[in-house]
Amino acid sequence: MRIDILTLFPEMCETVFMESITGRAVKAGKLEVFAHNFRDFSDNRHRTVDDTPYGGGAGMLLRAQPIYDCFVHVCEQIGKRPHMIYMSPQGKTLTQRRVRELSQLENIVILCGHYEGVDERLIEKIVDEEVSIGDYVLTGGELPALVLTDAVARMLPGVLASEDAFVEESHYGGLLEYPQYTKPAEWMGRTVPEVLLSGHHANIAAWRHKQALLRTREKRPDLLAKREENGDE
Ligand code: 4GN
Number of compact structural domains in the chain: 2
Residue at a domain's end among 119, 153, 187 = 153
User: Do 179 and 143 lie in a common domain?
Assistant: no
Residue 205 falls within a domain, yes or no? yes
Residue 168 falls within a domain, yes or no? no
* Substitution candidate for ligand 1 out of 137, 142, 148 with most atoms within 8 A of CB: 137
Whole-model pTM: value is: 0.93
Q: Position 35: which residue type? A: A
Question: In which region does residue 79 sit, left (phi positive, over 0), alpha (psi from -120 to 50) or beta (all else)?
Answer: left
User: Do 193 and 139 lie in a common domain?
Assistant: no
Q: Position 79: which residue type? A: G
Q: Which atom of ligand 1 is nearest to the CA of 117?
A: 13
User: Do 117 and 17 lie in a common domain?
Assistant: yes
User: Do 211 and 101 lie in a common domain?
Assistant: no
Alpha helices in 18-141 (DSSP H): 20-27, 64-78, 96-102, 120-126
Q: State the CATH number of the domain containing residue 193.
A: 1.10.1270.20
User: Do 85 and 146 lie in a common domain?
Assistant: yes
Identify the DSSP state of 134: S
Segment 59-77 mean pLDDT: 98
pLDDT tens-place string over residues 142-167: 999 999 999 999 999 988 877 565 45
Interval between CA 141 and ligand 1 midpoint (Å): 5
Instruction: Give how far Cα 32 sits from Cα of 4, 11, 39, 190, 221, Å.
Output: 8, 15, 22, 45, 38
Angle at CA of residue 102, ends 101 and 107, nearest 5°: 140
Q: How far apart are CA 78 and CA 2, in angstroms?
A: 9
pLDDT tens-place string over residues 200-213: 999 999 999 999 99
Domain assignment of residue 181, given as a range: 173-230
Does residue 133 have its Cβ closer than 6 Å to ligand 1?
yes
Inter-residue contact 62 to 127 (CB < 8 Å): no
